[in-house]
């Protein structure tokens, strides 16, 4: 990923990769494809803009409410909030 969001890897072992993503307003992850199933755990309430091959959409995120996605998702994730936004991503190897 080549975006402007700050990624901090906390765990990378034979089972999982746990990464915190922190976004200033307008920061993004950069276009990427998920190579593993993954779980996102929002660290705060907020809104993210998602760019996919099918267009643009928005996701309302709730602090502590995780969600799961299958391997193969392709997108760019952009902070659509007026302030900082952050989440934890847990990739399942």
Q: Where are the domains of the chain?
A: 4-90
Question: pLDDT of 23-75, one tens digit each?
Answer: 999 999 999 999 999 999 999 999 999 999 999 999 999 999 999 999 999 99
- Domain 4-90, CATH among 2.60.40.3880, 2.60.120.10, 2.40.110.20, 3.30.70.1060: 2.60.120.10
Taking the model in full, what pTM does it have? 0.95
Phi-psi region of 26 (alpha: psi -120 to 50; beta: other; left: phi over 0): left
**How much is the pLDDT for 2?**
79
Terminal-to-terminal C-alpha distance of the chain: 18
DSSP 75: E
Per-residue model confidence (pLDDT) at position 1: 65
Lowest mean pLDDT among 2-6, 20-24, 49-53: 2-6
| Average confidence (pLDDT) over 15-30 | 98
33 sits in which H/E element: strand 32-33
**Rounded mean pLDDT of 3-16?**
97
């Amino acid at each position: 990923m080549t975006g402007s969001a700050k990624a901090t890897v906390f765990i990378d072992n034979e089972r999982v990769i746990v990464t915190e993503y922190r976004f200033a307003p307008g920061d993004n992850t950069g276009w990427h494809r998920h190579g593993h199933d993954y779980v996102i755990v929002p660290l705060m309430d907020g809104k993210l803009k998602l760019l996919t091959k099918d267009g643009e959409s928005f996701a309302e995120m709730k602090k502590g409410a995780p969600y799961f996605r299958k391997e193969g998702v392709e997108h760019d994730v952009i902070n659509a909030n007026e302030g900082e936004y952050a989440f934890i991503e847990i990739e399942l190897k």
